[in-house]
């Protein structure tokens, strides 16, 4: 099993965190991982993306030129990366920020109003966790339980309310089809 993933959006949407949690979960499950962030100097509001690879085999390069999975949280990210997704790959789109959805017919397109879902859960800060749930639900790349244990260890003492909101967002994202 090998998944090459690109997560992209505006700085502040949590795209780097999506890749980080995928990589940490992969490591916890005994897989080989790489995590390569890229962002502009302005960070919040600028463009940001991360390339993450989760594999049973050694990883030759952290560079992802033709991802198996694209998470596009805004239209510029979808426009930039959608054409590079491998045939039979998965394109996960935040329809609230991508009015022109992916038109490719050789990939599975999963489109949902993730910003709206995050607001309904209680905070826009969980937008990235909705997207993370969509990845888990559509690929099975890592287990929910692994992500849950990682988040719990990180947030339980610091902010238990945010922990519950994040877990709810991941579960909601896993339901997106």
Q: Looking at beta carbons, which pairs linking 85-94 to residues 24 or more positions away fall under 8 Å?
A: 90/138, 90/139, 92/131, 92/134, 92/135, 92/138, 92/176, 94/9, 94/127, 94/131
Q: How many domains does the chain have?
A: 1
pLDDT in tens, 23-58: 999 999 999 999 999 976 655 667 799 999 999 999
Q: Say how far apart CA 96 and CA 111 lie, in whole Å.
A: 9
Instruction: Look up the pTM and report it.
Output: 0.93
Q: Which residues pair with 167 in a beta bridge?
A: none
CATH number at residue 70: 3.40.920.10
Alpha-carbon dihedral sign for residues 51, 73, 160, 171: negative
- What's the pLDDT score for residue 160? 83
Q: Which domain holds residue 148?
A: 2-174
> What is the tens place of the pLDDT at every residue in 98-156?
999 999 999 999 999 999 999 999 999 999 999 999 999 999 999 999 999 999 998 88
Structure tokens at 74: 């805004």
Model confidence band, residue 15 (pLDDT cutoffs 50, 70, 90): very high
């Amino acid at each position: 099993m090998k998944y090459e993933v690109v997560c992209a959006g505006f700085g502040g949407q949590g795209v780097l965190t999506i890749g980080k949690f995928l990589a940490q979960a992969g490591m916890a499950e005994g897989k080989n991982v790489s995590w390569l962030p890229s962002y502009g100097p302005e960070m919040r509001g600028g463009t940001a993306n991360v390339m993450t690879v989760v594999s049973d085999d050694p990883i030759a390069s952290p560079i992802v030129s033709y991802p198996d999975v694209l998470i596009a949280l805004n239209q510029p990210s979808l426009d930039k990366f959608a054409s590079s997704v491998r045939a039979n790959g998965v394109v996960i789109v935040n329809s609230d920020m991508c009015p022109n959805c992916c038109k490719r017919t050789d990939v599975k397109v999963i489109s949902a109003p993730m910003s709206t879902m995050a607001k309904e859960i209680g905070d826009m800060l969980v937008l990235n966790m909705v997207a993370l749930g969509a990845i888990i639900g559509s690929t099975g790349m890592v287990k929910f339980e692994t992500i849950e244990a990682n988040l719990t260890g990180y947030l339980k003492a610091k902010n238990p309310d945010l922990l519950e909101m994040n877990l709810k967002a991941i579960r909601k994202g896993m339901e997106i089809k």
